[in-house]
Amino acid sequence: MSAVQVEVTGELDLATAPDLLERVRTTLAGRPDAIVLDLTGVTFCDSSGINALMDAHTLAGAGGATLRVANPQRITRRALEVTGVLPLLTGP
């Protein structure tokens, strides 16, 4: 099983969401079995960021890969919990 870790840093918002999706598309071109988005360095995540994470999850699935997030920091974890997507994005 090939897994690729992608480090995400800074703010994940309307301005940076397209960059995240492009990174996921580029990573999927290598046909990994899984993508892990390491959110350790994310300092802010708004609804656009959450949508980008969900879109990335969908893109990965369409490309035959799984996608999960790892190490969401407190502020990001809370946003994912409140919106109900944390279990989907962190996996079992």
pTM, whole model, 2 decimals?
0.94
Say if residues 35 and 65 touch (Cβ distance below 8 Å): yes
Q: Give residue 37's pLDDT.
A: 98
What pLDDT was estimated at residue 56? 98
Rounded distance, CA 60 to CA 75, Å?
Answer: 25
How many other C-beta atoms are found inside a 10 Å radius of the C-beta of residue 53? 30
Q: Which fold has domain 3-90?
A: Transcription Regulator spoIIAA (3.30.750)
The predicted structure's pLDDT at residue 70: 97
Low-confidence ranges of the chain (pLDDT < 70): 92
